[in-house]
Chains A and B, each alone.
Chain A
């Protein structure tokens, strides 16, 4: 069954980072060590402090920046990233001194905390935090915490499934297995795309194999033999159905339009965008094993000089109005249900309003136990 339901997704853990920030040229030309201080002076021209944020592209849209800047007395310098892994390795290589806030995917928050890069989240001080879905408050206490201390605050979320070209692929029972075994009666050899991301591709394979238990608890755990199985499923798929591993949203849209593939691993956000552009032939599938769901969580650098302000900004990202603006720009729902009051009916129908029962059925992204083993498996798949 095909459903245009209330899911949304962002799939941006792609191949790399792109920094397209608005830091002034003068600041950049200054000695690197003093850029943060300089940006403070040049950015505002007043006493308004400047916060540097590394995050996804939608946060850099003018409407979102203006919404936050008008609510909190602050200048925002947004650097666009395309990968949580890059955010982490960047901060671990010293960018924690340059940025005040990062918004990685939830599964990277424990990493930031364990590396000692970020400060605990003062949840009690955040006005909007008590209003977010209870489910996400549970996540904060669970997978976003290390040793009982929470380090991140959820902002937006969405679901992963796969999109398909209904001109080539008939309606079918929607399952992750379609990505690995195809659809009966349709030749999908070389016509399926998976994300070029060890985490997304391997979790899809694990759900296809029925390893739902692995997703209980605060970390995803696959045993060694399960990892072996995941690997062989991915290698088999690569040698038969796979068209390409896609780097991100743009590659999905481009590839399915070009006809490079007919079925592609995707978040709902891509499909919403395509529908708005009039491509009604593309359908979103919601696999019966459960949709993987992502969410973003904001963290604050230990090195920041503006800790309170940084948390104020994060609080604003989940405020009813600014949160709705962010949802509108990215076609992805906010974790704060009050945002739906500020979205049109059409937008609520497309992505804004989420039935809480859907949240119970979702399988959230989580940090992975034994990340290195996952990475090795992925390298082996890529070189197979």
Chain B
């Protein structure tokens, strides 16, 4: 795949958001991943040329951040949280079942190119543990059974919807979002998941008076 002038123009658009263009490097690399499927040498060269820095400097940044991939990714990125809390609540069991089901190990892609599997760190959704992600979208309160169902749906190209977000598209499409290009999906999914509403629902049920605040009608 070759990067086009359109990509170069979009990189310049990103650079214009910042007082100093080098600040654009992280989103520019997300854009490269969205176009190329991973951070290709060509993508590194284009970032370096646009920013007037060396390819080695760009590579140094690429290798620091786990979201940047150095080899071709599957259509979907599947993450299973195996940090302590999720692992203990069942994340370890889920990860092991998914590996077995897909026949791949950590950081590997299924032969059909559909799924790249990775165990991931805390997703800041611990009250929804055990948590998985598809293309980084939340899939809350998973079990090994629900995880296998999701994998089967992805492999069969059936529609899959995040528990607190949009219908899944692809890892590459979301990389474009990380580059700062809105995809018009902000209105999909609920305002909040059930666990996020625990305290508020209790307060409402108990009839606690909610203290005045700028969001209040008081």
Do A and B pair up? The answer is no
